[in-house]
Amino acid sequence: MIRKLFLGGLLLAAASTSWGAINLTATAGAGQVSLSWSYSGSTPTVQEIYRDLDSNPNGRVRIASVSTSTRSYVDTGVSGGTTYYYWIKNTVSGVAENSNVASATPSGSGGGTISGSSCGTSGAQTTVNATIRVTSGTYDGGCQRFNAGSALGDGSQSEGQLPVFRVENGATLRNIVIGTNGADGIHTYNGAVLDNIYWMNVGEDAMTIKSSGTTTVRNIEGYDADDKFFQINAASTLNVSNCIIHRAGKVLRQNGGTTFQINVSVDRCDINDMGEGVFRTDSSSSTARLTNSRLHDAGTVCIGPWSSCTQSGNTNY
């Protein structure tokens, strides 16, 4: 049960009676918010970072899970002029304790523009005949183009195609161009970070979340996904910022007929020419949010029985 308190005019909530053990501060910058926190009388065990557009913790979205030694985090998935609210949640032996709520309003346009990927399509090329696995650390492709070989698939809508990349356990994949044969794009397991990715011609899907975790996707661009761009096959959190997605059936689909919970946040995206819409689910426990984005012929934004599916700061063109 959520317990709410008012301390110093701020609304706080927790899943336990433990309060005051985590002190969180948020500092605004140009297109980013810097978080720092400390503990008093408590031991960090499972640390998660949550964000919302108001101080009520109901509906807040997890944006990261961090190691037990971490005491700072920089959130770059924000827009200048928007106020964001943050919490640190620490779970010890199944009992959750929450920090105070801290807010900040980033300045300038550093995080507010929509630019997509900075990778072009004229770089060096390589053919991928076996899925490239990124199990830890960072794989930087230098904006090279990776074309799927026939062993992975033909880039159609045929089920069972293999991914060009498989990213696991919070690892980072950056500066990649997926060529005109996209096969099944990128699969993530146990969380991942995808940064500066360009899909020339999406195959079966651009990206699929295959197992639970938090996946952060930023600075991406993709075209011609006949069905969906993002496919979600496990209870998970997906945070997307600064994206260009043109010509797709829909931006995101939770695996049909499933009822597990997903939490999706899409911010600062240019979404153009969707055959059906933006978000689709069959789960009444899932949440989605679309903010600060530009839409053109995008169809229905929220399709299905979402627990919460909201929009703010969006424009049509």
- The pLDDT score that the predictor gives to residue 127 is 97
Q: Of 150, 220, 249, give the one whose Cα is nearest residue 164.
A: 150
pLDDT in tens, 14-26: 344 355 589 999 9
Residue 290 in any domain: the answer is yes
Residues 99 and 151 in one domain: no
Same domain, 195 and 265: yes
Residues 163 and 307 in one domain: yes
The pLDDT, as a whole number, for residue 11 is 41
Could you tell me if 157 and 285 lie in one domain? yes
* 220/290 same-domain check: yes
Q: Tell me if 110 is assigned to some domain.
A: no
Range of the domain at 131: 125-316
pLDDT at 231: 98
Asked whether residue 119 is domain-assigned, the answer is no
Residue 111 lies in a domain: no
Tracing tokens 């903010």 back to the chain, one arrives at 291
Do 12 and 137 share a domain, yes or no?
A: no
Are residue 82 and residue 180 in the same domain, yes or no? no
- Distance from C-alpha of 307 to C-alpha of 237, rounded to nearest angstrom: 15
CA distances from 59 to 85, 120, 137, 286, 287 (A): 12, 37, 31, 10, 8
The mean predicted confidence, pLDDT, of the chain is 89
Residues 118-141 have pLDDT tens digits of 998 888 999 999 999 999 999 999
Residue showing tokens 């031991």: 43
Are residues 300 and 166 part of one domain? yes
Nearest to 190 by CA among 208, 168, 218: 168
158 vs 97: which has the higher pLDDT: 97
pLDDT digits 0-9 by tens, 211-264: 999 999 999 999 999 899 999 999 999 999 999 999 999 999 999 999 999 999
Cα angle 106, 214, 261 (rounded to 5 degrees) comes to 110
| 82 lies in the same domain as 141 | no
- Report d(CA 272, CA 270) in Å as an integer: 6
Q: Model-level pTM?
A: 0.72
The answer to the question of residue 113 being in a domain is no
Query: What pLDDT sits at residue 79?
Result: 72
SS3 110: coil
Task: In whole angstroms, give the CA distance from residue 192 to residue 234.
Answer: 14
pLDDT recorded at residue 155: 82
State the pLDDT confidence band at 10, using cuts at 50, 70 and 90: very low
Answer yes or no: is 165 within a domain.
yes
Residue 120 lies in a domain: no
Nearest to 161 by CA among 185, 190, 195, 193: 185
Mean pLDDT of 144-166: 92
Q: Which of 158, 233, 167, 168 lies closest to 176, judged by CA?
A: 167
Whether 165 and 195 map to the same domain: the answer is yes
* H and E: helices and strands count for the chain: 0, 26
- How many domains does one find in the chain? 2
Cα 155 to Cα 177: distance, rounded to the nearest angstrom: 15
Q: Are residues 81 and 194 in the same domain?
A: no
Q: Are residues 176 and 226 in the same domain?
A: yes
Overall average pLDDT of the 31-44 stretch: 90
Mean pLDDT of 270-283: 97
Which pLDDT does position 117 carry in this prediction? 93
| Predicted pLDDT at 16 | 42
Identify whether 112 is part of a domain.
Answer: no
